[in-house]
Amino acid sequence: MADFLPLDRQAKRLPKLIYSSVSVTAAAKVAGCTPAELAYRWVAFDSVVDSKYGDAVIFGVRNYTQIEETMGWLKAGTIGQAAKDKIDEIWKVVEKDSPLDNYNSFHKQAPVAAQ
């Protein structure tokens, strides 16, 4: 698998990626859940995702047990204001280095491989 970012750009992001990983784990503890649960619940209930615009949450699961687990997480609803505040703090640190999306930030900028 090819790396789409030059090494210097990847290295520049590393400290902020480590910070965000540790901080998301801390936010999950505040919400009383795992980082994976925090992510699903935040996207479903606390982000700008909105079904009235055709937005949806797509589960990334390997088996039926994981579907049941994820559905159980979603029944818990919002992650709460304290965890949302922590996520907002994380975003302020990583925003400048965060990709817009995979196409614009990686594929579009990647050099074309020789055929």
* pLDDT at residue 2 tops 50: no
What is the pLDDT averaged over residues 39-48? 95
Nearest alpha carbon to residue 4 among 103, 115, 114: 103
> Domain ranges in the chain?
7-98
Task: Report which residue type is found at 6.
Answer: P
User: What is the secondary structure of 2-68 as a DSSP string?
Assistant: ---S-HHHHHHHHHHHHHHHHHHHHHHHHHTS-HHHHHHHIIIIISS--GGGT-------SSHHHHH
User: Mapping DSSP to helix (H, G, I), strand (E, B) and coil, where does residue 78 land?
Assistant: coil
What is the pLDDT averaged over residues 55-71? 93
* pLDDT at residue 86 tops 70: yes
> Which one has a higher pLDDT value, 114 or 83?
83
How does residue 42 score in pLDDT terms, banded at 50, 70 and 90? very high
First vs last C-alpha separation in the chain: 16
Task: Report which residue type is found at 18.
Answer: I
Task: Provide the pLDDT for residue 10.
Answer: 61
* pLDDT at residue 107 tops 70: no
